[in-house]
Amino acid sequence: MKRLWFVLLGLMVGCSTQESTSDPCVGSECEGLCEDFHPGLRVLWGDLHVHTRISFDAYFFSSLNGPEEAYRFAKGQPAGIVCDDPDTECGTLQLDRPLDFTAVTEHAEFLGAFSTACGGDMPDLACGPVGALIRDSVDDFIQGDNPIDAELIESLFSSIPDPDTVWEDVQAVTEAQNDPCAFTTLHAYEYSPLINGSSMHRNVVFLGDVLPRHAISLFDTESEWELFDSLEAECGNIEGCDYLTIPHNSNLADGRMFLPIGTPFAFAGRDNQPLTPEDAALRAKSDRMVEIIQLKGQSECMAGFGFDGLGSDEMDAACYFEQNKPICTGAAD
C-alpha cells in the first residue's frame, strides 16, 4: 500500500534542492508505482511525531482535534484552535505547504482513555482533578518525568476503553486518509517508558497495513530489548509487515538511551552486558534513525563532555543551542 521507506532512509543520507537525474521507470517495472516515481533520491517532507486527543497529555493540554483532523491538517486543510468564549468564533491554523507524509503517533499508554472518559457530554467525575494534576505537572512532563501513578489514575475512572480497540480505530482513520501518490499515511504509535526518571521514548512506525494487534506500552515492558523482541515476533517475522523505531529526546534519557560499555563507542546490550552480534543486528533493524530536535530540546550533542564524541577536544559551539538539561552522572549505569 505504501512505498515510503525510501523517503525515511533517504532523509538520513542527505537532501538536495535539485531534481533527480535518474530516468523514470518504464514498462512493466512501473506497475504499482506513481506516475512521477523516480528510482533516484527525492526529498519529501513529513511529520513522524504527531499527537491528538487520543493521547492523554495532548487531551489535557487542549489539543482536542483527533487523528482525522491531524491528517487533514497535514494535507493542507485548516484545523480549529480551541477557544472557550461561546460568543467568539474559534480561530484556525493552516500549513503554507501541505506535507507529503504523516504518522499519527499516539501514546500507547492510556490510549484513548481520557478523550473517551472526559470528552463526552457526561464526563467522568475524575476528569477535573486528573486534568488539573496533569496541567500542574507540565514542567515535569517537559523534563521527561512522570509524576502520575498509572494504577491510581486507572482506578479513579469508572471505565477505560480497550486500548486494542482504540488502536484499531486509529488504524482505520490512517487507512482512510491515505491518498496514494499524493499523501501517504503511516501506521504508528509512541512507546513511552520512563526508567528512573529517564525518558526512553520511541515512536514505532510501520510500513503497509499488516500490523500487530496490540500497541506495546510501558505497562507491557519498560525494556527496549523486549520491545525489539516483541516487534520482531509480531511484525518482523510476519510476511507483509515491516517496522522501525525512532528514539526521541535522548537528551532527557540521562545517558541511558545509547549507553556505552567496555571499549570506547561500544553499546551496552541486554542487562548491561556487552552487545552481542545478534542483538546489534536487531537494534540496527529497529533504531534506523533518531529524532534530533523538538520542543523538549535537541539531542544532537550534549554540552559538558569537552569533546565532540569523536575524540576532538573542541566543543561545537552550536551544541549549546536548545539544550534542555545536562547529563546526569549520579547513577552507576
User: Per-residue pLDDT averaged across 75-100, rounded?
Assistant: 88
pLDDT of residue 21: 47
Predicted local distance difference test score (pLDDT) of residue 267? 66
Q: What is the pLDDT of residues 243-270, one digit of tens each?
A: 999 999 887 777 778 776 555 556 678 8
- What integer pLDDT is reported at residue 307 of this predicted model? 46
199 vs 12: which has the higher pLDDT: 199
Question: How much is the pLDDT for 20?
Answer: 44
Asked whether the predicted pLDDT for residue 144 surpasses 90, the reply is: no
Q: Which among 4-8, 19-23, 185-189, 307-311 has the top mean pLDDT?
A: 185-189
Give the per-residue pLDDT at 78. 95
Q: Does residue 331 carry a pLDDT above 50? A: yes
Task: Check residue 333 and give its pLDDT.
Answer: 53
Strand bridging mode 46-50 / 101-104 = parallel
Highest mean pLDDT among 79-88, 194-203, 323-332: 194-203
Q: Residue 305's pLDDT is what?
A: 52
pLDDT band at 298 (very low <50, low <70, confident <90, very high): confident
Q: Give the mean pLDDT of the chain.
A: 80
Tens digits of per-residue pLDDT, 20-54? 445 555 655 667 788 888 878 889 999 999 999 99
Residue among 301, 289, 299 at smallest CA distance from 249: 299
pTM: 0.82
Residue 125 has pLDDT above 80, yes or no: yes
Q: Which residues have CB under 8 Å from 27's CB, separation 6+?
A: none
pLDDT at 71: 98
pLDDT (mean) for 163-174: 97
What is the average pLDDT across 126-145? 75
Query: Would the pLDDT of 203 be above 70?
Result: yes
Q: Percent of the chain beyond pLDDT 90?
A: 42
- Could you tell me the end-to-end alpha-carbon distance of the chain, in angstroms, rounded to an integer? 43
pLDDT band, residue 318 (cuts 50/70/90) = low
* 289 has a pLDDT exceeding 80: yes
As a whole number, mean pLDDT of residues 180-184 equals 94
Q: Is the pLDDT of residue 304 over 70?
A: no
